[in-house]
Amino acid sequence: MGLLYDIGRIKGNTGVRHTIDGYNFLKEQKYDDIARVCITHAFITQDVTNTIGEYDVTNDEYDFLRQYLENTKYNEYDKLVQLADSMAMPDRFVLLETRLMDVCLRYGMNENMLESVKEVFKMQAEIEEKLGHSIYRLFPEIKDNIGV
């Protein structure tokens, strides 16, 4: 399911719009649980004002996203998909710091970015506690990307 969170990009290279497009597409296919991550992956702090990319949605869609985030309790799967997205480049997995810097360089920093970065590292710590080891042990190819 986590591989489909960006399926809304089938309609083009869009900003926040891809969350709505993916959600609607998967809801139409009756995949409600997967549709959910199309939205949740992009809003780490569950705040509609705190995401990257252009707000290329209508006012009604913006209101829908705001209400959806306010009424959705994130679960472990939402957080796992967010963490995976925070480690994924188009062609490889990387350290969280590398991916977060890539996002900042491509989209710029906004006033809420620090809050999201803190939340990503909090998610990492929570998942590593459950795993009993570093998340990077699950992705040995990361060593190839850092020259170790």
pLDDT tens string, the chain, 148 residues long: the values are: 778 899 999 998 899 999 999 999 999 999 998 999 999 999 999 999 988 878 999 999 999 999 999 999 999 999 999 999 999 888 889 999 999 888 888 887 777 788 889 999 999 999 999 999 999 999 888 877 766 5
DSSP state of 52: S
What's the gap between Cα 96 and its chain centre?
12
Global pTM reads: 0.88
Q: Which residues are registered as beta bridge partners of 88?
A: 93
